[in-house]
Structure 1
Amino acid sequence: MRKLKKGKKFGLKRDKRKALFKIMAHHLIMNEKIKTTTQKAKALKSFMERLISKAKKGDLSSLRYLLSKLPKKSAYKLFYDIAPKYKEREGGYLRVVKLPFNRLKDNAELALIEFF
């Protein structure tokens, strides 16, 4: 029986969706928090949790994996600055906080995603 893949598509093709997560992850790492829609924040949390767990290993293959998924500057910041903070933590590196107001133009629910 055919099963569906996990994850939201956001009305985008695969390459545009990958680019969206890459740039959102870059901005999250550089600014430590970003404001986006609730659904994108939840999807980004899942993506980033996997990257942080990979970066915690601290070996060369993990760094190369991060460089394949993120821009160079943010990959190095994640590997050398952010991941060592979470060495003892098993998971739950990020939190998504729903904001009390919606976006004016399209009434989309907004959320703040930040490092815990």
Structure 2
Amino acid sequence: MRHQVFGKKLGRDTNARKSLASNLASSLLVEGRVTTTLAKAKFVKIFAEKLIADSRSASLNRRRSLASRLSHQAFLKLITEIGPGFENRAGGYTRIVKLGPRGGDAAPMAKIEILEWDKTKAIQLTKNPKPTKAKKAATTENTGKRTKIKAVSSAVTRKVNEKPKTK
């Protein structure tokens, strides 16, 4: 009996399921909609809804968690556009539209898409340039080369030229 068993296996092992979920969710976030089988659409809907809910309050820990599960492009779009756009919405960020059966094997097809979000709340990510101090390179007067590099390279050549000690 299937009491209290959550989730679908989709005929895959654990790693393949995780890859499928993250890849479908990344495509969904980047493109806005994905056409797939109905079972995969239902599977990825749960995963994508959790990702969007986590991105609404993007603390450092949640951002790192999202970055580990998504592609870089999908992560940036989720953090900058989609998450802030759904800030006032409690849930239901995606919808599944059933399509006809697939031509080759008559598998039930569906289109999963992200609902419209408030695009005026998009965040601009900018790197804050840190003020850097100009470093002086330690140079010798005669050659104009850095002494540190010269010292390292001479130590390396000395080590290479030495014969190994044997007893």
Quickly name the TM-score band, shorter chain normalised: over 0.9
Partner amino acid for 2:105?
D
Q: Deviations over 1:18-42 (max 9, x none)?
A: 1111111111111100100111101
Structure 1, residues 6-58: CA drift from partner, whole Å, max 9, x if none?
Answer: 11101100001111111111111111001001111011111010111101012
Tell me the amino acid that sits aligned with residue 23 of structure 2: I
Q: Which structure has the larger Rg?
A: 2
TM-score normalised by structure 1 residue count: 0.93
Structure with higher helix content: 1
Structure 1: 5+ residue stretches without partners: none
Question: Could you tell me the TM-score, scaled by structure 2's length?
Answer: 0.65
Point out the structure with the larger strand share: 1
Q: Distance in 2 between matches of 1:59 and 1:75?
A: 14
CA distance in 2 between partners of 1:40 and 1:79 (Å): 24
Stretch deviating more after TM superposition (68-77 or 25-34): 68-77
Match of residue 8 from structure 2:
8
Q: What RMSD in Å do the two structures reach over aligned CA positions?
A: 1.1
Asked if residue 60 in structure 1 is aligned to residue 63 in structure 2, the reply is no
Counterpart-to-counterpart distance in 1, 2:23 and 2:5: 23
Q: Which one-letter code corresponds to 1:50 in the other structure?
A: K
Output the CA distance in 2 between the equivalents of 1:30 and 1:55: 15
Q: How many residues align?
A: 113
Q: In 2, Cα distance between the equivalents of 1:53 and 1:22?
A: 15
Q: Tell me the percent identity.
A: 37
Q: Which residue of 2 aligns with 1:103?
A: 102
Aligned-residue offset at 1:71: 1.4
Distance 2:62 2:72 in 1: 13
Shift of 1:80: 1.0
Stretches of structure 2 that go unaligned for 5 or more consecutive residues are 116-167
